[in-house]
Amino acid sequence: METRSARRRRLSNSHNQTGVDYISHLPDAVLHHILTLLPIKTVAQSATLSSRWRSLWFTLPDLDFSNSIFNSNSNSNPADIIAGILNARDHKHSNVRLLRFSATLSFSRLNALFRIAVRHKIQHLHIQVSTNDYFNFPRGIIASDSLRVFSLRSIYPGFRLPPSSIMSSGFRLLSSLSLALMILDRPSLVDLFTDSSFPLLKKLNLESCSGLMNLRVQCPVLQDFSLEGCFQLQGLDVLGGKLERVRICSCFDAHGSSWVKIVAPNLKTLVWIYNAVTDEVNLGDLKSLNQASLGLLCQHFSNTKLHSVSALLSAISPAHSLTFEPSFLDILSSNTYFACYLPTFNNVRCLELKTVSRKHNCSVVANIFRSCPILHMLTIKIVDASSNGRKDWRKEKWERIVSEEEHFWETQIEPLESFRLHLKIVRMEGFMECFNEVSLTHFLLKYGTSLQELSIFTNKTNHRDSLKRRAIKSLIMGFSRASPHVKLRYC
């Protein structure tokens, strides 16, 4: 009688004798997809297996060299290697769709690669290049009639864009453009991103562009616009009937006058973080806004700046989901102006507060809660584990301060009535067992009549604090609960 192991050996030998290579018989499209999941060095080595795999290598549509395959001990330049691989293909029948690489290149070598990319009619081009001097933007790539997605990230000192008269003559079919560490110091570039230059552009990303003081963006089909690290910016004018996402981060001149105007009636997502407060804010009617994130640089606020912050808050009031960064809560804490003029967010159902655990935040947090009368889900992230609000374990001080904070929250029962009736889910992340965190938890459990779930996630515990923290956990788990259905998790 044949044993199981003998049967397995027989079947294995029988299979090997057939010599059928099922993988090689898969369609090219399937094999190309599999190969794109591998490092390109491995893909190139597969060309030595057979003529079939050699053909697959020379017809691979996506060439990603970003994970460097280059031998640091080799005398070959990365640009020469990439150029050699592309030149081995027939550019008249080339199917290269994507080319991505990161390297240190001279201008002549980079320009040569651009010319090869244009010849092969590459559609997606992603480049991160390090240079030793200032480059003028290679004009050869501007005239490409096949390029659809273009990303160029320069490492210091950067590229200088040519005048808009030259830029506007190309990129007519471009749908996505990303430029990082560019030099945009020509006055004519203010009006570069308009319908005449980029009629089909849907996504625009500008990052750390020096010399950019004024910018107008008016591309007719633009849907996604991102601007980051432009600290010299004084004026921003954005107009887009189809614009859905805007992200402005770390921009505007904090020491001079500045303004912003955005007209985007179909905007759904607005991220406005770490920006200096402008003197003028005009965001139009954002009636379609769904998500908004807000965080501002802490600075001295004149009356003009305070009105600008109010205008910004009023503009995002139609949002259904809000995120407030720690810096924004600090601004609210240091200006009593917002205790009276914080707008009501009647549509907000999801709120995320990123905060440092400090006592003076309690009144600010209460004001925000009062401004969100139909809030369903609240997330609080304590982002500063080294906060001075760290609890003193002495029993007398603990009981005294907790009592003071609980008294404050008792005064908020009536003002927060609508908030308490609608709140259903609460998540506290980075919980540090500080006085105000414990008192807020007590308030939410004791008066949150519709509360369904409250989850607390603590930071790592020092061994010497573990007993005290277990006592705090026991205290919280024993708090009275207004909702009989609430699930309390503490981990």
pLDDT tens-digit map of 405-415? 778 888 999 99
**From 3-17, 41-55, 118-132, 454-468, the region with the lowest mean pLDDT:** 3-17
Residue 399 has pLDDT above 70, yes or no: no
Residue 206 has pLDDT above 50, yes or no: yes
Cα–Cα distance for residue pair 362/348, rounded to 1 Å: 20
The pLDDT, as a whole number, for residue 389 is 44
The pLDDT, as a whole number, for residue 395 is 54
| pLDDT, tens only, 330-356 | 777 776 666 567 889 999 999 999 887
For residue 166, tell me if it sits in a domain.
Answer: no
Q: Is the peptide bond before 157 cis (omega within 30 degrees of 0)?
A: yes
The pLDDT, as a whole number, for residue 75 is 63
**From 208-222, 265-279, 290-304, 361-375, the region with the lowest mean pLDDT:** 290-304
Cα–Cα distance for residue pair 112/212, rounded to 1 Å: 29
Q: How many domains does the chain have?
A: 2
DSSP 261-330: EEE-TT--EEEEEEEPPPSEEE----TT--EEEEEE------HHHHHHHHHHHHHTTT-SEEEE-HHHHH
Range of the domain at 453: 320-384+398-490
What is the average per-residue pLDDT within 287-297?
92
Strand 98-104 relative to strand 425-431, pairing: unpaired
Nearest to 222 by CA among 201, 246, 197: 201
What is the average per-residue pLDDT within 291-305?
82
Domain closes at, from 59, 75, 104: 59
What is the average per-residue pLDDT within 20-45?
86
Residue 99 has pLDDT above 90, yes or no: yes
Element at 321 (helix H, strand E): strand 321-324
Cα–Cα distance for residue pair 444/65, rounded to 1 Å: 53
For residue 64, tell me if it sits in a domain.
Answer: no
Kindly tell me the sign of the dihedral angle through the C-alpha atoms of 319, 322, 325, 328: positive
Quick one: how far is CA 307 from the chain centroid?
28
Quick one: how far is CA 198 from the chain centroid?
24
Cα–Cα distance for residue pair 237/255, rounded to 1 Å: 20
Domain closes at, from 10, 38, 59: 59
For residue 6, tell me if it sits in a domain.
Answer: no
For residue 148, tell me if it sits in a domain.
Answer: no
Predicted TM-score (pTM) of this structure = 0.85
Give the whole-number percent of the chain exceeding pLDDT 90.
Answer: 38
For residue 144, tell me if it sits in a domain.
Answer: no
Does residue 215 contact residue 193 with C-beta atoms inside 8 Å?
Answer: yes
Nearest to 353 by CA among 327, 379, 331: 379
Cα–Cα distance for residue pair 267/263, rounded to 1 Å: 9
| pLDDT, tens only, 414-464 | 999 999 999 999 999 988 777 788 889 999 999 999 999 999 998 766 655
Cα–Cα distance for residue pair 90/330, rounded to 1 Å: 61
Residue 279 has pLDDT above 60, yes or no: yes
Strand 203-207 relative to strand 176-180, pairing: parallel
> What contacts 157, CB < 8 A, 6 or more positions away?
131, 133, 134
Q: Is 300 helix (H, G, I), strand (E, B) or coil?
A: coil
Burial class (CB in 10 A: 0-12, 13-18, 19+), 58: middle
Quick one: how far is CA 67 from the chain centroid?
22
Residue 6 has pLDDT above 70, yes or no: no
Side chain identity at 264, as an amino acid letter?
Answer: A
Cα–Cα distance for residue pair 405/484, rounded to 1 Å: 25
Average pLDDT, the chain: 84
Cα–Cα distance for residue pair 311/407, rounded to 1 Å: 33
**From 129-138, 238-247, 466-475, the region with the lowest mean pLDDT:** 129-138
For residue 274, tell me if it sits in a domain.
Answer: no
For residue 315, tell me if it sits in a domain.
Answer: no
Higher local confidence (pLDDT), 157 or 122: 122
| Residue 364: CA count within 13 A, CB half-sphere | 24
For residue 354, tell me if it sits in a domain.
Answer: yes
> What contacts 292, CB < 8 A, 6 or more positions away?
269, 270, 271, 272, 316, 319, 321, 322, 323
Higher local confidence (pLDDT), 403 or 105: 105
The pLDDT, as a whole number, for residue 1 is 57
Residue 361 has pLDDT above 80, yes or no: no
Higher local confidence (pLDDT), 15 or 223: 223
The pLDDT, as a whole number, for residue 465 is 63
Longest dimension (CA), the chain: 95
| pLDDT, tens only, 149-183 | 999 998 766 788 877 777 777 788 899 999 998 88
Radius of gyration of the chain (CA): 30
Q: Name the DSSP class of 92.
A: G
| pLDDT, tens only, 314-324 | 999 999 999 99
Does residue 417 contact residue 452 with C-beta atoms inside 8 Å?
Answer: no
Higher local confidence (pLDDT), 144 or 371: 371
The pLDDT, as a whole number, for residue 387 is 46
What is the average per-residue pLDDT within 263-285?
93
The pLDDT, as a whole number, for residue 360 is 52
Listed ranges 130-144, 149-163, 311-325, 387-401; the one with the highest mean pLDDT: 311-325
The pLDDT, as a whole number, for residue 473 is 85
Higher local confidence (pLDDT), 253 or 322: 322
Domain closes at, from 38, 59, 80: 59
